[in-house]
Structure 1
């Protein structure tokens, strides 16, 4: 009896022990399972991005440049690579262009018969018909350059005879050779003017002798830029004189050439007015700016040239070089929640040439960053100056590394935090 009771007691103790052991095991398994999920979720969660605190450089602007403006006529001045006009007066008024028309003639002829660099181009043989054209121009009191029947000139030499001494006869002979007739040339020239957007320019002949050749100062600035873009025309109009064996020395009629930076382009004279389409090279720092302008309606060429010289001398100091960004300049700062810091710095400096009081501003675009290596691009600094834009990469000066396991486990709330907004100073 006693032995039976002892066996029952031992069974009850064994059962209690099994329940305790397996219950404890279940609790351990539950805890391990729950902790594993927590650990996995925490270690796999994305880390928060560090937002940049941006330092925006202050805009730079000089005082407006005072100008010595002509007190007469119609004028406009622009600069290659710069939008709009630097100076203008009556620039939309159509006026007779006279021999400035020959610039159109040269560009249209060269479009049809281009001349390779360093070459003279196709040859033109002149005949008695060209001599007759010469005498016809003399009778009309037009400017001429000498011509001989049987002489053969290159197209480059022929254009020199048209542009430098402003030979009306050569403008006619050249277009007869190039297009077969003046009418055929005019048809192409008018289409060319439309293609170039020179809507206020009218052409009636190849020489400019007719007063029906008219344009506006604003259009002529654009024409001057087109002339300088053509290497043959640009070289010829900048040449003070050229020796042509069959013709002798051809002198440029532009008396301003070589002074006040002037290196072109074309005179134009009517019975009532002196005109000049001009270009000038203006040194600015280690570079230069090409100014293109026109003045129409001078009483004489001396009066006209004095006004242009004064205008150019007042324009030149208005160009200045601005350096809004230095290389390695810090423009944004980063600080991660786990204590690392870095700066976004400019990979290069930037300088820009501006006119007068054109403001120069820097726009800083820096991206939020999580993990990044030193030298990694994290944004861009954009220099704005009128229509000019210069982009400079922003790179980190230190690495932003992963915070690691312990920080993740200790800061689960930070992993769910929204990305901070960037600020500026």
Structure 2
């Protein structure tokens, strides 16, 4: 009998399913790790966004100065004596001769009139207060006439308004009226002369010394440069400018008188004062008004020490050398563009390579002549992070030696935009 042995294969037991608590723990661990990783990535990405953007920087590209191009004008200066020319509000046109103190004759009466008008101001056409010729002043007239002085006739008790007295001083160059005005203002001629010298010092006229209000005394000396300084200042007084531009005037006692300055009314000349003595020669302080580019421009000058045997010759000489100076100065002055619309004035660099330019929005033009230096000033406020194209921001100004600034606004060429969030993150990767 055969014995059979039966072999039975027993399957391994099935694994136990994980408990719900264990599964939850794994997922919490994985989720926490992912959250930490995402938070870390977010911190890395956001960190650069928390840093403030640097402000845009401005770099000036326009030079600090320029020179009006062309050949500098050559002035027809007198061959003797000394002279000076200036264009108020622009610059000096130069000088000739040694600027040393010399007698100036009746050009001294410019200071006399200036002191009177600063102490007793007049508007245009205003007569002002009256003054009366004293008996002593009238009695001095015959002796003054015998000395050959330039005078107007006066009598005791004659009354002159301030304007009439100034007309007598500035047109027919009356020495006696200069002294009468001096005593009327300061109480004595000596006290008035002290005021003249104080005024000269206050104006910076370092080469000037007055010893009398008429200029007859050769001790009254000045330079052409100083007289230009005074003439410019005096012409700012409306009554002074009005009187010296007159060809004639009607005065008490004297009647109609003429202006000794024969250039008035020619070549734009509007004054100022002649002077002539043996010691001074022919002298003239002058002003002319010309139109340049639709603007009224004043030229002021002085010529001293022109030779001649007597007053008519001396004055003729000074007139002859002054007219070419006035004409040459008028021809030299022009309007010159020193910055043109669209000219780049500065560049602006923003963060991450952003950039634009600041350009002149209009032309900038100055009065002047070839060779005249012009200062160029640029003012740009802090540039914002965003600046649209064409937006005005800042200005450029041009200034001659003593002129007022002429300005134009600046405008952005292209738009300046701040970098995007993605650009900022990518920059710091």
Do the aligned residues in 2 keep the contact of 1:61 with 1:357 (CA within 8 Å)? yes
Q: Deviations over 1:93-112 (max 9, x none)?
A: 22111111111111112222
Alignment root-mean-square deviation, CA: 3.1
Once structures 1 and 2 are overlaid, which stretch shifts more, 226-235 or 51-60?
Answer: 51-60
Residue 108 of structure 2: aligned partner: 101
Give 1:349-360 correspondences, 5 Å limit.
Answer: 349-360=363-374
Q: 2:39 aligns with which of 23, 33, 41?
A: 33
Residue 412 of structure 2: aligned partner: 396
Distance 2:337 2:329 in 1: 21
Shift of 1:148: 3.0
Do the aligned residues in 2 keep the contact of 1:60 with 1:361 (CA within 8 Å)? no
Residue 26 of structure 2: aligned partner: 20
SS in 1 for 2:263: coil
Residue 422 of structure 1: aligned partner: none
Q: 1:77 aligns with which of 85, 110, 114?
A: 85
Residue 163 of structure 1: aligned partner: 170
Structure 1 gaps of 5+ residues are 414-425
Do the aligned residues in 2 keep the contact of 1:364 with 1:380 (CA within 8 Å)? yes
Shift of 1:72: 1.0
Distance 2:138 2:191 in 1: 21
Q: Call closer, same or farther: CA 1:384–1:271 in 2, change over 3 Å.
A: closer
Shift of 1:332: 4.9
Give 1:320-335 correspondences, 5 Å limit.
Answer: 320-327=334-341, 329-332=343-346
Distance 2:415 2:315 in 1: 68
Residue 277 of structure 1: aligned partner: 285
Given the alignment of the two structures, is residue 253 of structure 1 paired with residue 253 of structure 2, yes or no? no
Give 1:22-421 correspondences, 5 Å limit.
Answer: 22-47=28-53, 56=62, 60-83=68-91, 85-244=92-251, 246-272=253-279, 273-298=281-306, 299=308, 300-327=314-341, 329-332=343-346, 343-360=357-374, 362=376, 370-388=385-403, 389-396=405-412, 399-412=415-428
Q: Call closer, same or farther: CA 1:246–1:348 in 2, change over 3 Å.
A: farther
Distance 1:111 1:321 in 2: 34
Do the aligned residues in 1 keep the contact of 2:67 with 2:373 (CA within 8 Å)? yes
Do the aligned residues in 1 keep the contact of 2:114 with 2:234 (CA within 8 Å)? yes
Distance 1:17 1:329 in 2: 74
Distance 1:385 1:82 in 2: 6
Distance 1:35 1:22 in 2: 20
Distance 1:337 1:173 in 2: 76
Instruction: Give the TM-score, by structure 1 length.
Output: 0.85
Distance 1:80 1:237 in 2: 18
Do the aligned residues in 2 keep the contact of 1:56 with 1:363 (CA within 8 Å)? no
Q: Call closer, same or farther: CA 1:187–1:253 in 2, change over 3 Å.
A: same
Q: Number of residue pairs matched?
A: 407
Residue 7 of structure 2: aligned partner: none
> Which protein shows a greater Rg?
2
Instruction: Give the TM-score, by structure 2 length.
Output: 0.84
Q: Call closer, same or farther: CA 1:360–1:197 in 2, change over 3 Å.
A: closer
Q: Call closer, same or farther: CA 1:101–1:387 in 2, change over 3 Å.
A: closer
Structure 2 gaps of 5+ residues are 1-11, 309-313
